[in-house]
Amino acid sequence: MSATKPRLQLALDTTDLADAFRPLNRAIDQIDVIECGTILIIAEGLRAVREIRALYPTKTVLADVRIAEAGTLIARNCFEAGASWVSVVAGASMTTVAQVVKVANEYGGEVQIELGETYDVDKARAWRELGAQHVIVKRSRDRELAGDLTWGPDDIKRVHELHAMGFTVTVTGGVTVKDLATFAGAPVGVVIAGRAIAGAADPLAAAKELQDKLAEVWS
């Protein structure tokens, strides 16, 4: 098994910042990475990043803006707002990825590439060579809504391949406590939970249950 327990990332994807703060403030002691989700940033702008950074100055904060172009401008605005990481979609050009990495380096930040349903090994190697540090393996929300609630051998294989390239690999897509054992032995660096924590009656207890399971699976 991987010797290092994955970090737990809370995805905040509400349309109202106050609604995001409620579960965040309750669960924060169990959260390693705070994600200002795409929906939250569309609704509230980079104010969401600024306010979360001001409240939690030592936490890792992801601005999940899914950059597709205008890499320099968008990345700079995110890092100036207080983001630690920014996300880039897999369909962005290599020029855009290079721009985002350059700005990230200026701010001591990091870049996360969000894979789609398909996986191009050569393209992934090129991202790593440019300096992107993170990559997401996901089960999309659309895939969940279509009834596909499983993680399969192809997903696990992808985690191993990307880790071997030097990426920190994040898994996301409705991840629950029950899903975690599926990844036993896989070099997962970050696990994202959104509704499993934010939608729980007790977000702190839900986050602790996930952290306990992470510790058990990656012991």
Q: How much is the pLDDT for 133? A: 97
Q: What is the pLDDT of residues 44-89, one digit of tens each?
A: 999 999 999 999 999 999 999 999 999 999 999 999 999 999 999 9
Q: How much is the pLDDT for 219? A: 87
- CATH of region 7-217, choose from 3.40.50.300, 1.10.10.10, 3.20.20.70, 3.40.366.30: 3.20.20.70
pLDDT band at 146 (very low <50, low <70, confident <90, very high): low
SS3 67: strand
Position of tokens 């509230």? Answer: 44
Q: What is the pLDDT of residues 187-208, one digit of tens each?
A: 999 999 999 999 999 999 999 9
Q: Where are the domains of the chain?
A: 7-217
**What string of DSSP letters covers 21-62?**
HHHHHHHGGG-SEEEE-HHHHHHHTTHHHHHHHHH-TTSEEE
Q: Is the pTM of this model over 0.75?
A: yes
Burial (0-12, 13-18, 19+ Cβ within 10 Å), 219: exposed
Mean confidence (pLDDT) of the chain = 92
Question: Residue 111's beta-bridge partner residues?
Answer: 86
pLDDT band at 116 (very low <50, low <70, confident <90, very high): confident
Q: How much is the pLDDT for 149? A: 54
- Report whether pLDDT(142) > 80: no
pLDDT band at 148 (very low <50, low <70, confident <90, very high): low
Look at 7-21, 82-96, 130-144, 173-187 and tell me which has the smallest mean pLDDT. Answer: 130-144
